[in-house]
Structure formats: C-alpha cells, structure tokens
Amino acid sequence: MSCDIGLYGLAVMGQNFALNMAEHGFKVAVCNRSHGKVDTTVERAKQEGDLPLIGVKDPREFVNSLSKPRKIVLLVQAGKPVDATIELLSQYMEEGDVIIDGGNEWFPNTIRRADELKEKGIMFIGMGISGGEEGARNGPSLMPGGPKDAYDLIEPIITKCAAHVGDEACTGYCGPIGAGNYVKMVHNGIEYGDMQLISEVYDILKNICGMSNEEMGDLFTEWNKGDLQSYLIEITAKILKKKDDQGQNGYVVDYVLDKTGMKGTGRWTVQEAAEQSVAAPTIAAALDSRYVSGRKEERLAAEKILEGPKDKPAVDKSQIIQDLESALYCSKIVSYAQGLGIIKAASDKHEWNVDLALCARMWRGGCIIRAKLLKGIQDAMARDPNLANLMVDQGFAEALNKGQMAWRRIVSLGIANGVALPAMSASLGYYDQYRRGRLPANLVQAQRDFFGGHTFERTDKDGVFHTLWDDTHKDLGDLAGRTAGEL
C-alpha cells in the first residue's frame, strides 16, 4: 500500500509514535537500521488492533513506499546519527518532500540541515516532541518549526495524533526553521526548574517536618487537586509511595542514588538565556543543582568537614505545609515567566513570531510540564501578546502578592535549617529584583567606571558620563566610543 507517512528510528519512542499515527487512521511505513525492531513494530501493530502499518527494511523501498509529497519522521539519536540518516534517505527523495526531525536537537543544527536540504528542494522541519514513551503512544505535545508549506502538509496528521485538552490540540505552528526546537528546548529548561523546585519541597517535608513517604505522597496527591495540579506533582505522589521492588524493605525512592543525569537541553536553555540577555535564575539554579549532585564523592567528604546550623528554630508543621504550597506555586510562576522570556527574546531576534499563548496551549497536555497553571498562562498571553513579563499579568500578580510572605518564610526556614533551596530562593530573588524600580546596579556601574572607564548614565540628565574618582584618574576626552561592545 502507498503510505501517508514514514517513520525511521524504532526505539520505543519511535515505535510508539508510529503506532499512534496508525491508530488515528494514517497508513504508516516504518524502517530502522537494525531490522529486528522493524519486525517488533509490525507485530505490535497487529497485536494492538491490526493497525495500518507496514515494515520496510530497505531504505530505498521505504522511501518509495510513501505517497508524494513524501513525509518522513526521524526519531534517532540527536547529533551525527541524524545527519547520517538524512544522508541515507534524502538520496532517494525528491523536490517537495519533507523530513521531520523529532529529536531533542540544538536548533542551529536544525537550521544547518534545512539549508543543506534546501539545495535538493527537500523541506525540513524540526519538531520537538514531549511526553515520553507514554505520550508518544497516546498523544504527545508536538512543537514543529519549519517552512509553512511543509507544516501544512503534516498538520492533519500531527493535529490528530497530538494530545488534546478539551477540543484544543497540543500542537501548532511554532514558526520558521529552528523555532520548534527552541520552544522544546525551553520547555525542557522549565522542566528542570519544576523538578528541582519539587525536590526542594520534598527536602523540607522530609528533613525539617519529618514526614514519612506515605504522608508526603498523600500530601502531593492532595496538592494535585488544586492550583498545583500537574503531571510532575502527580508522579511525585506515586514515586514517594512506591514500595521497593528489589527485595528490600521501604521505598524505591530511598534507594535511588542522589545523582541526577541530564542530556543537555537544560544547559542549552541557560546558554541561550545568556545569549539573549534574559535572566533565568530558577532554571540556572536547577542546572547547577544537577552539577552539584554529580559530585557525590566530594559531598560525602565535605559532609565530614563543613558544618551547618546547630541551633535550629522550632517549626509549626501545619504552617510549613501551608506555606510550601504557596511558595511552590509562586516559584513555578516565576520559572515559566523566565522560560517565556527566553522564547520571546529569541523570537524577536530571529523574527520567528512565536505565539506565546500557543506555547502554553501546546504544553497543557501530553508533555512533562503539563499543568493547570498553563491555562492561566495561555489566557494571559492571548489577552496581551506583548506582556512584558508573566508576573505583571493581573491574575498572576495577585497570586504572587498573596503568596509572597509564605514564600519568604519557606526560604528563610531553609536557610535557618541548612537546607539548600537554590531554585526556590533564586525564584524569590528574581521576583524581588523585578518588582523594584531601583536596584543597587548603580554601584556596580560606578565600579565599572572606576576601574575601566566604562562610563555611566545619570538619573537627572541625559548623556554619557565619566567621573574622576580619585587622583589616579584622567580625563577620557570624547566618551562617545567608551560604550562600544556593550551588550
């Protein structure tokens, strides 16, 4: 049969997404470097409803099995394997065909590949996919970026196969090439922040409040019924209550080594925040926490040398739990504000015209950061696409103003007890900096002028100024070029 779409790369994500498309009525051809996975996927298609899916083991036959213009989704490891797969398949493709890379790829690589394929007349889309293996099978969040003509060709397929919240599909056109990968990258950065914030709450509940895993699991289950409702809160409750499955007493989470892995998207997000001159301290703190966690042997040695507070304050467990709910919610708002700020800055720079309300809609279902909070973000960005910062939206500003004292109590509690809250304290610091009309940056700029003659602006008059701070300073003459190179 002539197939509607092809998928190359049959690890579990690839298999599941191929079956998802087939289950929605599209005829799917699958191919893979190792042939055994082709057979596995075909067998799964039979077992899961006799789905319209065929396996093809020869790359040329795979390409030729597709209706024109051909559409091929790649789900292979990012980096060189993507380049190798494109080289393998594109030799059999024609002008007007489309390749869709569904991996977590660094967006400049996507732009490069699009330029290379353009010479052959083949269109290229970088499409972020979030939701893990379950999402790929049952409905992920799909974030495509590329030529609009190419998007129009795949839109009927991805709209049906994406997650849906109500009647809204968790997908849409992110913008030109690179935009989809960028939105997915920032999604992952926000995910880093979310996970770190939840782990800090867990640390307080466990080590300050002295709660058991069962009690904490019950609390997260309760929180998942309110403003904090989200996938990550939901799975945290399940993780905390999972009994050990390796023959030990207790719970799995207590046997998990405290070293967090990563695949690079969080680091890319922090790098891009710096590149765009956008503050993202919550996401950066989450990334730094993963780095610190990786130095397990050093921490074990330091534990015997470095001291924490000895006189710890008395705690009111019920008040802490109440405050934690507010502090976590406020911190999550701030983390999303930072992520959306990064996307907005890059979109303006690259002229992508990314719709931030669409980003929130795409993230509401199927993906790892799906949360009740995102409906409010979608509405806020739809009301004012040029909103300077999510925190100043009326609804979110009210929530932050209401919760800020609880937030402060929790951060202070962590400091007093020697429990590090890097992401939560960074979130509060960002909030406090952003809400102040005047910061101590005047002193920093004065220091820059003192040691480097970098000049400064004044609050009382226009122009650029330099001061002879002491007898060692000389008149700089014309100041016009002194700010050259400033970011």
- One-character DSSP codes across 76-136: S-SSHHHHHHHHHHHTT--TT-EEEE-S---HHHHHHHHHHHHTTT-EEEEEEEESHHHHH
Active site residue 184: yes
Does residue 309 have a cis bond before it (omega within 30 degrees)? no
Indicate the SS3 state at residue 43. Answer: helix
| Distance separating alpha carbons of residues 142 and 24, to the nearest angstrom | 16
CA distance 85 to 31: 11
Long-range contacts (CB closer than 8 Å, 24 or more residues apart) made by 386-394? 389/337, 389/341, 389/434, 390/333, 390/336, 390/337, 390/340, 391/333, 391/334, 391/337, 391/431, 391/434, 391/435
Say if CB 57 and CB 34 are below 8 A apart. Answer: no
Q: Which two tokens stand for residue 60?
A: 């040329």
Residue 343's alpha-carbon distances to 169, 185, 427, 434, in angstroms, are 21, 10, 18, 18
Q: How far apart are CA 34 and CA 51, in angstroms?
A: 22
Helix (H, G, I), strand (E, B) or coil at 371: strand
Alpha helices in 208-316, H assignment, sequence order:
213-223, 231-240, 265-275, 281-293, 296-302
344 catalytic residue (yes or no): no
125: amino acid identity, one letter: I
d(CA 269, CA 342): 8
Query: Using an 8 Å Cβ cutoff, are 270 and 287 in contact?
Result: yes
Would you say 51 and 23 are in contact if contact means Cβ atoms under 8 Å apart?
Answer: yes
Nearest in space to 72 (alpha carbons), one of 119, 22, 4, 11: 4
SS3 of residue 165 by DSSP: strand
Phi, psi (rounded to 5 degrees) for 40:
-60, -45
Amino acid type, 282: T
Nearest to 154 by CA among 144, 168, 141, 167: 144
> CA 195, CA 190: separation in Å to the nearest integer?
9
The Cα diameter of the chain in Å comes to 87
Query: For the chain, how big is the Rg over CA atoms in Å?
Result: 26
Residue of 23, 37, 105, 191 marked catalytic? 191
Spot the catalytic one: 37, 184, 241, 344.
184
- Contact by Cβ (8 Å): 221, 359: no
Contact by Cβ (8 Å): 315, 389: no
Q: How far apart are CA 436 and CA 471, in angstroms?
A: 35
Catalytic residue numbers read 184, 191
